[in-house]
Structure 1
């Protein structure tokens, strides 16, 4: 362990400390969830349903770009999406679920900080110094991932899934629960995917992945990114690149991180 005091602590003592870290983390989620529940007008009308409207920032930007480039396929979400609720308690349960997800998203930096406070005493001072920026970078990447998913992937996915038809005789009337689960899944997935450099950092630190391993599967990662972009975007190159390019950048940054860790480890071994 990193400190002498932690060596003297029993397993139950560690569990007690962990319990209070978890209590504070859940309390922060609960507080932000209550705020989201109270301000449901902003959460639903502006945030949740926003990407489906023609006045949404991304939709307006793409339509303007479509007129300049004479590419009408880029102009998305101009027809209002019909969303309905078919369950008696559907809107209430959806309200609670969305508030909980919003609480997790907003409280994520604090949750990660509580996790760091629990792990920190087990680290040596040198390891603590190397990991001081972990909270900042993890929170920043998570936020960037959420914003990217919300402003880029969500509008493209809503347009593709909301207008896709197997037959002109079948009308798309989207269930509220389905719409909400799609938006929340995309947003949370975006935040987690953008944590890829952090995951690679820790995996490289313990020797589970290497820069050589990541380079070996570089082509596979590009193919996966292209397939993902092709599935959720309209059939045009610009939209696909908007989704694919950041994913490739994240993977390449992971290779750089792993290479730096290996170089540092080799230098320490040489010394």
Structure 2
């Protein structure tokens, strides 16, 4: 998705600080668009490297108007299956990475009196399925901090939007780490893949135009789903939550005491 969005941004004439773990992978963009692109190579897990990259982009372009936090991976595995290192890496990339970049751009955006922050969350930032617990944890954390952030920076004309893609053939699942499979949790994987079987993947190239619509909107949404089929999942999720809270309201009142 990031590559498609970079293309959309550059084709309409905007300037782009393009980032990747290896800056050499950005050479085709530089060859095609020249000075429109500033290639930066760093790992979002490295807070110091993030701050240095943001400072370089601000110095080169005079400021950052729009931040898109798109780096991420999807760790597949039951909670018991994942290793300590895998769990930490999932949170470092999907949650702490966007947190570091967001914190780095805020002083400049506040000083200039505005900006846009697009956080790439997921349908998995709203609902949760078996065998994706750590991935969901990272996206739910991103959703929570972004909602708080939106209220904090609204007085400075900084808009925050959580993009929640459904299913796209982006290679995310195939390129992401996998936990060691334990036969005890075979049912969890079966449930995960069976539940996603009915969803028709969206077109990655179409998402670039949608991103530009959000960037240009005078009052962008806090949350927006990318793709179809997710709204039904969200409706069912919230109906189930309300049903549970209402069913156990007597215990809620009991816990309150007199």
Same-fold status (TM-score > 0.5): no
TM-score tier after normalising by the smaller chain length: under 0.3
Q: TM-score, normalised by structure 1?
A: 0.24
Q: Which has the higher Rg, Structure 1 or Structure 2? A: 1
- Structure with bigger strand share is 2
Q: TM-score, normalised by structure 2?
A: 0.25
